[in-house]
A and B are shown apart, each in its own frame.
Chain A
Amino acid sequence: MNKKLPLAIILGIVGIAYTFTPYKLLTKTLKIGFGLRHNDHVMIGIVALTIAVVAVYALINEYRFKV
């Protein structure tokens, strides 16, 4: 298995969780707010999403050239 795949999956989940989950759900219910503000969560999420999206593109590229 390509090393980028687990990285892309994990970062994709982190990105989706931090970008799209409401602030209260993230901090009060899930308790993964780490005392940060909402915009910090969105920024962490977007960075994680960026890495995940590019990792998926890199994987598609590798697969395309293998076939």
Chain B
Amino acid sequence: MMNKLSDSLIFSLLVSVPMVMLDVLYHLATETAVHINYVAVKFTIIFLTLFLTTYWVGKSWNDGVFATVVGPVLFYIYYLFADPTINREVFRIDDSFGYIFLHVAVFAFSYAIVYNFIYRGNDKNHKWYAAGKAFALSFTLFGLDAVYQMLRVQLTTHDEEIVARVMSIDMSLYLVLSVLLVGFLIYYYVKNVAIQSSVLVVSAVVLIGLIGMDMVRAAVGIVSAGIPAALIHYYTRGRL
């Protein structure tokens, strides 16, 4: 069994990265800028709120409600008092009051799915258990892949406005949905951990390569897929 610190850290990571990436998908769909600095601040606040709640109090539906409301409200306070770092005449960002509800909704959705699959750990043949794992895997992979894409452009151009245009909704949806489907099938039908992990990583690399048409990005996919797959395995191992 893992200790409380690593348990809280992994749980918070598996909830907050998918939450931020669900929000990113919404922004891409509504043509709201995905600005790397704001995404980083959002992730920091959401992760910190959830981690401290899990570490100091625990994991339950009540704690989930507290974290899902407090995180987005604190993030909104940041928006209210910080100076804009991106040209608001060119880019629309999620700084209006109504976005609190979106952030609460995606956070609650992500928390519910991950919490649900963890507590179905004793019924590992259940389809929701595989679906929950596939959800955490696909959105965490999407997050790490997005970080790689945006950081690469940020480091080469040093222009935040170019970075804000790096991601597109169609490519992101193709990647998320295909990894979600492949992840579900593998988690549901393959029970051998070594084969399961290898097939997951190889399929993620192939999918990133085919969708992104970028071999370097596909090679980085070994890490982008390997980290969430390893974390999910490590986290659920002790509970079965």
Which residues of A line the B interface, CB within 8 A? 4, 19-20, 38-39, 42-43, 45-47, 49-51, 53-55, 57-58, 61
Grouping DSSP codes into helix (H, G, I), strand (E, B) and loop, the A interface class, with mixed when no group exceeds half, is: helix
CB of B86 to closest CB in A, whole Å: 12
**Mask: chain B, 131-164; 1 = CB below 8 Å from A; 0 = not:** 0000000000000000000000000000000000
> Cβ of B56 and Cβ of A38 under 8 Å apart?
no
Q: A42-B78, A43-B78, A46-B45 are in contact. Are A51 and B52 (CB under 8 A)?
A: yes
Residues in A whose Cβ lies below 8 Å from that of B66: 57
> Cβ of A50 and Cβ of B57 under 8 Å apart?
no
Task: Indicate whether B41 reaches chain A with its CB closer than 8 angstroms.
Answer: yes
Task: Indicate whether B44 reaches chain A with its CB closer than 8 angstroms.
Answer: yes
- In-complex Cβ contact of B48 among A19, A51, A57 (8 A): A51
Task: Indicate whether B49 reaches chain A with its CB closer than 8 angstroms.
Answer: yes
- In-complex Cβ contact of A38 among B41, B74, B82 (8 A): B82
> Cβ of B85 and Cβ of A50 under 8 Å apart?
no
Residues in B whose Cβ lies below 8 Å from that of A4: 56
Could you write out 18 A-B pairs with CB less than 8 Å apart?
A4-B56, A20-B81, A38-B82, A38-B83, A42-B78, A43-B44, A43-B82, A45-B81, A46-B45, A46-B74, A46-B77, A47-B48, A53-B49, A53-B70, A54-B49, A54-B70, A57-B57, A58-B57
8 Å CB contacts to A: which residues of B5-49?
41, 44-45, 48-49
Considering the chains assembled together, what is the distance between the CA atoms of A50 and B49 in angstroms? 6
> Cβ of A19 and Cβ of B44 under 8 Å apart?
no
Task: Indicate whether B178 reaches chain A with its CB closer than 8 angstroms.
Answer: no
Task: Indicate whether B53 reaches chain A with its CB closer than 8 angstroms.
Answer: yes
Residues in B whose Cβ lies below 8 Å from that of A49: 74, 77
Interface centre among A20, A50, A51, A55 (most CB of B within 10 A): A50
CB of A45 to closest CB in B, whole Å: 8
> Cβ of B78 and Cβ of A46 under 8 Å apart?
yes
Residues in A whose Cβ lies below 8 Å from that of B52: 50-51, 54-55, 58
> Cβ of B53 and Cβ of A19 under 8 Å apart?
no
Considering the chains assembled together, what is the distance between the CA atoms of A49 and B85 in angstroms? 22
8 Å CB contacts to A: which residues of B47-80?
48-49, 52-53, 56-57, 66, 70, 74-75, 77-78
CB of A36 to closest CB in B, whole Å: 13
Residues in A whose Cβ lies below 8 Å from that of B70: 50, 53-54, 57
Closest 4 CB pairs of A and B: A58-B56, A54-B52, A42-B82, A39-B82
Considering the chains assembled together, what is the distance between the CA atoms of A57 and B53 in angstroms? 8
- In-complex Cβ contact of A50 among B74, B81, B82, B83 (8 A): B74
